[in-house]
Amino acid sequence: MSERMNEGKIPLGSYHKCPICGKRFFTSSPGEYVFKRNVKTDCGSTIWFYCSWTCLRKWDKDHAPKPKRNYARTEEKQ
């Protein structure tokens, strides 16, 4: 019965291409998809979707945040 109800309907969701391996994959709910990162670009920011946990971790390793400097004054010890 449920197969007949879905016949002829366009699936909701979108196709994406993994920026690491180039694999094309389908996400049924992009808002709830977990393998994604917000990426800053020249003209703003965008969301990149990754096909797997492995590709996501590869990207994280290559784009680790720079450590923040501590500009707080320290007291001199005598």
Single-letter amino acid, residue 1: M
**C-alpha closest to that of 60 among 20, 16, 29:** 20
Q: What is the pTM of this model?
A: 0.67
What digits encode the pLDDT tens for the residues 45-56? 999 999 999 999
**C-alpha closest to that of 29 among 16, 13, 15:** 13
What digits encode the pLDDT tens for the residues 2-42? 555 556 666 678 999 999 999 999 998 888 899 999 988 88
